[in-house]
C-alpha cells in the first residue's frame, strides 16, 4: 500500500478507491487491501515489484524520480509445529517493510502546485513519526500520538510493544545537504533508543501451559536448592510428593509437596478449553467458506 496525500491506496489494485483503517484485537489493519498467499521468495518478489511500479513519483530539483508517498509492504508469516501428543501449535509474525518518502525543503526542491501539496503532507507525517518515536523513548511520556497520522497508525504495531524495529537511513555525501544529513541521523538515533519486549504470538492457552511448566521447573529447582541438591521425586501412592532426605552433615529434613494432581487437572481443563475454541473456530471457518 502507499500513503499519498494522507490517503491509503492499494498498489496491487489500480481501480481500488481510497481505503480505510480499522482496528481489531490483532491490531490495526487496512480494510479491503489486496492480499496474496506466497510459497517461495520469487512469488513474494513478483508481488512486491508489481506494487512498487504503481507508486506515485514526481520530478523535483533534487530528484528526478522523487517518491511522493510512503509505501508499506506487509508480510505475514505463519508456522505450525506438532507437539509430542500430535497437536499442532500455530505461531504468527508480521513484518512491515516501509519506504519513507524523504522530507523536503521548498527552497531546495522548488516544489509548487501538486508537488508542494505532496511535500506538505510528507513532512507532516514524518514530523508525527518523529513525535511518536520521541514519545516512545521518553519514560515520562504517558501518551503516544499514533492517531495523528495514518503512517504512524499503520506502523503502531511496528514501533511500540510487541515488536523489534530497525531503521535504515539513506544519507547523501554532499556538504550542500549537511543539515538534512544531521537531521536524518538524529531521527535514526532516536529510533535506536526505543525499548520494546517482543513475545511469541501464539495460542493464549499454549502460552499459559508453557508458563505452568516453567513454574513447575522453577519450584523443583528451589526444592533442590533447599535440600542441598538431594531431591528425590516420588510418584504413585504419594501423589507426586517431592521429598528431601537428611544430609550427611545431619541437616534437618526438608519436606515440601508439589500437588502434581492439581496441576494435571488444570492442564486437562486447559486442553478442554483449547478443543472448544478449535471447534468454534472450525464452525466459523465453515460458515465463512459457505
- pLDDT score for 253: 43
Give the three cell numbers for residue 163.
515488536
Predicted local confidence at residue 209, as pLDDT: 75
Residue 58: its pLDDT value, please?
56
Q: Which residues pair with 243 in a beta bridge?
A: 232, 255
Per-domain boundaries in the chain = 2-192, 204-289
pLDDT of residue 49: 92
Task: Show pLDDT as tens, one digit a residue, over the chain (290 residues).
Answer: 998 888 899 999 988 788 998 887 767 889 999 999 999 999 999 999 999 888 877 555 455 556 778 999 999 998 888 877 787 888 888 889 998 887 766 656 565 677 677 778 888 888 899 889 889 888 888 899 999 999 999 988 888 878 888 888 888 788 888 888 888 888 888 888 888 877 777 666 777 777 777 888 888 787 777 766 554 444 433 333 333 344 444 444 444 444 566 677 777 877 787 788 778 777 877 877 78
- Per DSSP, the residues of 219-244 read HHHHHHHHTTT-EEE--GGGSS-EEE
- Grid coordinates of 198: 517482543
Amino acid 260: pLDDT: 65
In DSSP terms, 19 is beta-bridged to: 8
Q: Which residues lie below 8 Å from residue 55, measured CB to CB, with a gap of 6+?
A: 2, 11, 67, 68, 69, 71
CATH code for residues 2-192: 3.40.850.10
Query: Residue 66: its pLDDT value, please?
Result: 61
Pairwise CA distance, residues 187 & 206, whole Å:
39
Q: What contacts 233, CB < 8 A, 6 or more positions away? A: 220, 240, 242, 243
User: With left for phi above 0 and alpha for psi between -120 and 50, is residue 86 left, alpha or beta?
Assistant: left
Instruction: Cite the beta strand spans of the chain per DSSP E.
Output: 2-4, 7-9, 21-24, 27-30, 57-58, 66-67, 70-82, 88-99, 231-233, 242-244, 254-255
pTM score, two decimals?
Answer: 0.63
Taking Cα atoms as reference points, which of 80, 78, 121, 88 lies closest to residue 103?
Answer: 121
Amino acid at each position: 500500500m502507499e500513503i499519498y496525500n494522507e490517503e491509503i491506496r492499494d498498489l496491487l489494485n489500480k481501480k481500488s478507491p481510497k481505503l480505510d483503517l480499522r482496528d481489531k484485537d490483532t491490531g490495526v489493519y487496512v480494510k479491503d487491501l489486496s492480499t496474496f498467499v506466497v510459497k517461495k521468495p520469487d512469488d513474494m518478489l513478483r508481488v512486491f515489484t508489481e506494487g512498487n511500479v504503481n507508486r506515485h513519483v514526481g520530478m523535483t530539483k533534487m530528484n528526478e524520480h522523487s517518491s511522493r508517498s510512503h509505501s508499506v509492504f506487509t508480510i505475514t508469516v505463519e508456522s505450525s509445529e506438532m507437539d509430542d501428543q500430535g497437536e499442532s501449535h500455530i505461531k504468527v509474525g508480521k513484518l512491515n517493510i516501509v519506504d519513507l518518502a524523504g522530507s523536503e525543503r521548498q527552497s531546495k526542491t522548488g516544489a509548487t502546485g501538486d508537488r508542494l501539496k505532496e511535500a506538505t503532507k510528507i513532512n507532516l507525517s514524518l514530523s508525527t513519526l518523529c513525535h511518536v518515536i520521541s514519545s516512545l523513548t521518553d519514560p515520562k511520556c504517558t501518551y503516544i500520538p499514533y492517531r495523528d497520522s495514518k503512517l504512524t497508525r499503520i506502523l503502531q504495531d511496528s514501533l511500540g510493544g510487541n515488536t523489534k524495529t530497525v531503521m535504515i537511513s539513506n544519507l547523501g555525501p554532499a556538504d550542500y545537504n549537511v543539515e538534512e544529513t544531521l537531521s536524518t541521523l538524529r531521527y535514526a538515533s532516536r529510533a535506536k533508543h526505543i525499548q520494546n519486549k517482543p513475545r511469541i504470538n501464539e495460542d493464549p492457552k499454549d502460552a499459559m501451559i508453557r508458563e505452568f511448566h516453567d513454574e513447575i521447573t522453577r519450584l523443583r529447582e528451589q526444592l533442590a536448592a533447599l535440600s542441598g541438591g538431594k531431591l528425590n521425586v516420588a510418584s504413585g501412592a504419594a501423589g507426586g510428593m517431592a521429598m528431601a532426605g537428611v544430609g550427611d552433615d545431619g541437616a534437618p529434613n526438608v519436606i515440601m509437596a508439589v500437588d502434581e494432581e492439581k496441576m494435571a487437572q488444570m492442564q486437562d481443563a486447559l486442553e478442554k478449553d483449547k478443543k472448544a475454541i478449535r471447534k468454534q473456530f472450525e464452525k466459523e471457518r465453515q460458515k465463512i467458506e459457505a
